[in-house]
Amino acid sequence: MTLSDKQKRILRWVGYPLLALLVFSFTLQRTFPYERIKEKIVELAKPSYDVEIVSVEPGFWPGAMVLETILLKSKPKTPSEEPSVILIDRLEIDIGLLALVVGTAAIDIEATLGEGTVSGEVSVTSSQLDTHFVTEDLSLDAIPGIQAVVGLPMKGNLNAEIDLSVPESRWDLAEGLVTLSCPGCVAGDGEAKIKPRQRRGRAAMFGGEGLTVPALNLGDLSGRVVIGNGRGVIEEFEAESVDGVLAVRGEVQFAAALAEARFEQACLRFRLSDALKQREPEFGNVQLLMGAPPQDDGFSNIKMLGKVSEMRMLAAVNCEQDGTAERVNLRGNTTSASRVNRGERGRPSLPDEDDEDAEDMDEGDEDMDEGERVGEAGGTLRGGIDGQGEVAERRPAGVDTGEEAAREVLERGAARGEGGDTANLRGRRPLGDPAQRGLDNDDDDDGRAGRNEERGRDFDDEREFDEEDDEEPEPDDRYEDEIDPEEAEEEFEG
């Protein structure tokens, strides 16, 4: 076959550049400093993991590399936490060199972890991140951070498919779908403990020492999460086995950074089987000890709060309203949010689950019984401030606090001609004329004296205000001290 002069010119124009590109690519592949890749991976993982990589070698095609035997050892955040170890037998990375020419980083990944595999594709441009990953028989032990999220060690093989599109590196704009299944999943290992803090009765042991979680058979766990409009909707997350039933519903609210993703309106419902209660009698009382007794259908309800990576749990009567309000952090930390009703000063009573907003007290008492507020995630604890302290009510976060609330109380009292000693609100006294605070005990005011006598408050012992010296009396220390709800519970136990 004879080529024409024109064909020869075309061949030279195309062939020489193509040959040069191939020579450059293979030369780059063979001379690339792969040890620098190894050092860079170790550097990036250093904040969370100690990394050891046996070798990094070039793959068959230009842009491909193979990492052999990667060992990752987590760095514990607390002295009691044991490090987790992840072993990746082989990791293959293929970087699309032609895609780089047009400004797109296309990477194919395939990893072998024990008997499981992870394969996927990542495409990155200046304005978009697209990922598609599939796992097959991936051991839950090999997934970084799963125990930190769940709060318990997990066993089983995970099959999952993840499709995500993240514009401009903003997760609040992400869209995608996550499906997963885990046949024969097991939670707990007979050694890990959960430690919600309780201070009443039998629960004191549970809060102090924690309760060991046996190996719980979850059966076939399945889940489906739809991501869009800044939210991840948990459409399905269920497990059923001979040990019980578990289900999670709710949403995850994404922020621009993935680490700031938070649970929102998320609820975990579970029911233990009779067989489990017989096999593990101590753990069989966990629903009561957690402050989440079974409802009519046998299920206990737990609200899931906070960041996904730092999940907290709040026992509730149902997922629409708070129940016992005892926060249970399955990593071992807890925050008590139980309400304390105060009777006589210094003598708290047990929480009342059906406590309402005490709107039935008379108008004069309402003006004088504004109290100290202890902020909490689910609401605010408000106690009496004038010595009787009979009312403790939970109010939504965001209500007016401090001096603004005090001034409002004083103005209402002054409008009715009624004084009243306004106690310290979180350590602050409201400003105003001392006479408006009820420090001037008028013996002729029988009505007010009668109310004060009913409250057990002795106005005869009040320091009198000397109008000639125009000096304000020293504050009464009886009303300056705040009561810590947890100390009050201990005092009640004594």
Our CA dihedral for 127, 132, 133, 134, rounded to 10 degrees, sits at 170
Candidates 241, 203, 207; CA nearest to 222 is 241
- Whether 264 is in a domain gets the answer yes
Could you give the CA distance from residue 341 to residue 492 in angstroms, rounded to a whole number? Answer: 11
Amino acid sitting at position 265: Q
- Whether 135 is in a domain gets the answer no
**Phi and psi, residue 286, nearest 5°:** -60, -30
Domain C-terminal end among 281, 310, 338: 338
Q: In the structure, what pLDDT confidence band is assigned to residue 340 with cuts at 50, 70 and 90?
A: very low
Query: Looking at residues 356-374, what average pLDDT do you find?
Result: 38
Q: Which pLDDT value is given to residue 407?
A: 57
DSSP state of 396: -
Q: Which pLDDT value is given to residue 414?
A: 52
Q: In the structure, what pLDDT confidence band is assigned to residue 290 with cuts at 50, 70 and 90?
A: confident
Q: Identify the helix (H) or strand (E) that includes residue 491.
A: helix 485-493
200 and 493 in contact (C-beta within 8 Å)?
A: yes
Amino acid sitting at position 18: L
39: three-class secondary structure by DSSP: helix
Q: Which pLDDT value is given to residue 341?
A: 35
Residue 402 has pLDDT above 60, yes or no: no
Q: Which pLDDT value is given to residue 101?
A: 67
Residue 494 has pLDDT above 80, yes or no: no
Q: Which pLDDT value is given to residue 420?
A: 42
Could you give the CA distance from residue 111 to residue 173 in angstroms, rounded to a whole number? Answer: 29
My answer on whether 153 and 270 are in the same domain is yes
211 and 283 in contact (C-beta within 8 Å)?
A: yes
Tokens of 248: 């999670």
Domain C-terminal end among 338, 370, 385: 338
Q: How many CB atoms lie within 10 A of CB 456?
A: 10
- Whether 472 is in a domain gets the answer yes
Residues in the chain: 494
Residue 166 has pLDDT above 90, yes or no: yes
Domain C-terminal end among 338, 368, 395: 338
My answer on whether 325 and 357 are in the same domain is no
Q: What percent of the chain has pLDDT over 90?
A: 18
34 and 57 in contact (C-beta within 8 Å)?
A: yes
Q: Which pLDDT value is given to residue 222?
A: 94
- Whether 168 is in a domain gets the answer yes
Torsional sign, CA 332, 333, 337, 342: positive
Q: How far is CA 90 from the centre of its chain?
A: 34
Tokens of 171: 């997760």
My answer on whether 153 and 284 are in the same domain is yes
Candidates 337, 382, 338; CA nearest to 359 is 382
My answer on whether 357 and 459 are in the same domain is yes
Could you give the CA distance from residue 299 to residue 267 in angstroms, rounded to a whole number? Answer: 12
Amino acid sitting at position 58: P
Q: How many Cα atoms sit within 13 Å of 188 on the Cβ side?
A: 16
Residue 425 has pLDDT above 60, yes or no: no
Residue 365 has pLDDT above 80, yes or no: no
339 and 488 in contact (C-beta within 8 Å)?
A: no
Range(s) of the domain holding residue 323: 145-338
Residue 217 has pLDDT above 80, yes or no: yes
Could you give the CA distance from residue 333 to residue 331 in angstroms, rounded to a whole number? Answer: 6
Query: Looking at residues 191-202, what average pLDDT do you find?
Result: 61
74 and 51 in contact (C-beta within 8 Å)?
A: no
Which of 116-120, 151-155, 168-172, 232-236 has the least mean pLDDT? 151-155
351 and 339 in contact (C-beta within 8 Å)?
A: yes
Candidates 163, 180, 177, 69; CA nearest to 122 is 163
My answer on whether 308 and 351 are in the same domain is no
My answer on whether 198 and 316 are in the same domain is yes
Q: What percent of the chain has pLDDT over 70?
A: 59
Query: Looking at residues 41-68, what average pLDDT do you find?
Result: 85
Q: In the structure, what pLDDT confidence band is assigned to residue 38 with cuts at 50, 70 and 90?
A: confident
My answer on whether 363 and 280 are in the same domain is no
Q: In the structure, what pLDDT confidence band is assigned to residue 343 with cuts at 50, 70 and 90?
A: very low
Query: Looking at residues 396-417, what average pLDDT do you find?
Result: 51
My answer on whether 224 and 290 are in the same domain is yes
My answer on whether 172 and 313 are in the same domain is yes
Tokens of 354: 């059906």
My answer on whether 314 and 355 are in the same domain is no
Residue showing tokens 């030279």: 12
Q: In the structure, what pLDDT confidence band is assigned to residue 188 with cuts at 50, 70 and 90?
A: confident
Q: In the structure, what pLDDT confidence band is assigned to residue 282 with cuts at 50, 70 and 90?
A: confident
Torsional sign, CA 458, 463, 467, 470: negative
Q: What mean pLDDT, rounded, does the chain reach?
A: 69
Q: Which pLDDT value is given to residue 157?
A: 92
Residue 427 has pLDDT above 50, yes or no: no
Query: Looking at residues 224-243, what average pLDDT do you find?
Result: 93
My answer on whether 64 and 178 are in the same domain is no
- Whether 4 is in a domain gets the answer no
Greatest mean pLDDT range, 35-49, 154-168, 371-385: 154-168
Each residue's pLDDT tens digit, 99-145: 666 667 788 899 988 889 999 999 888 888 999 999 999 988 778 76
Q: Output the CA angle 389-395-396, nearest 5 degrees.
A: 160
Query: Looking at residues 464-471, what average pLDDT do you find?
Result: 44
Could you give the CA distance from residue 351 to residue 336 in angstroms, rounded to a whole number? Answer: 12
Query: Looking at residues 215-221, what average pLDDT do you find?
Result: 91
- Whether 479 is in a domain gets the answer yes
Greatest mean pLDDT range, 154-168, 192-206, 282-296, 476-490: 154-168
Which of 132-141, 212-221, 381-390 has the least mean pLDDT? 381-390
pLDDT: is 460 or 168 the higher one?
168
Tokens of 279: 């096999």
Q: Which pLDDT value is given to residue 146?
A: 76
267 and 301 in contact (C-beta within 8 Å)?
A: yes
DSSP state of 274: H
CA distances from 310 to 254, 286, 376 (A): 14, 22, 17
My answer on whether 352 and 486 are in the same domain is yes
Q: How many domains does the chain have?
A: 3
Query: Looking at residues 423-436, what average pLDDT do you find?
Result: 42
pLDDT: is 332 or 59 the higher one?
59
Q: Which pLDDT value is given to residue 366?
A: 38
- Whether 134 is in a domain gets the answer no
- Whether 197 is in a domain gets the answer yes
243: three-class secondary structure by DSSP: coil
